[in-house]
């Protein structure tokens, strides 16, 4: 059974992966970037579940492309707005997660990050 929840590829090579849940893999990748600077122009994010919150964090982290096993229409709207190409296996109206509701009216990646970092008990950087 596949336990990996997030894979990040650069030029087709996996540079980061995680088995954690919620948005923690994206926060962990942010820390990884502090220690391992990357050219983010070619980063592809492959995530099990992508809601609006994950899409906003991926944009903030420099995603060049996104693939989700499950993706919400709210995530698609954000990715479209920022001209980030994406694919998905299953499209759903919403992710059944409180975070999707909290960010319903927020479209700015930096504003979303501040809210999400506080919810994740991470310092906003």
pLDDT in tens, 49-74: 999 999 999 999 999 999 999 999 99
Distances (CA, A) of 120 to 23, 87, 115: 8, 27, 9
Residue 54 exposed, middle or buried by CB count within 10 Å (0-12, 13-18, 19+): buried
Residue 19 CB neighbour total at 10 angstroms: 11
**Helix residue ranges, H only, the chain:** 24-35, 52-60, 73-81, 98-102, 109-119
pLDDT < 50 positions in the chain: 1
Q: Which CATH architecture has domain 42-125?
A: 3-Layer(aba) Sandwich (3.40)
Rg (CA), the chain: 13
Which pTM value belongs to this model? Answer: 0.91
């Amino acid at each position: 059974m596949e336990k990996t929840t997030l894979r990040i590829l650069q030029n087709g090579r996996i540079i980061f992966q995680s088995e954690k849940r919620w948005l923690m893999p994206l926060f962990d990748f942010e820390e990884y970037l502090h220690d391992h600077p990357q050219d983010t122009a070619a980063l592809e994010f492959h995530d099990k579940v992508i809601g609006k919150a994950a899409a906003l964090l991926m944009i903030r982290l420099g995603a060049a492309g996104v693939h989700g096993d499950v993706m919400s229409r709210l995530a698609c709207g954000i990715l479209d707005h920022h001209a980030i190409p994406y694919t998905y296996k299953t499209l759903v109206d919403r992710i059944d997660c409180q975070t999707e509701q909290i960010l319903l009216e927020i479209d700015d990646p930096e504003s979303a990050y501040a809210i999400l970092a506080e919810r994740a008990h991470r310092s906003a950087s």
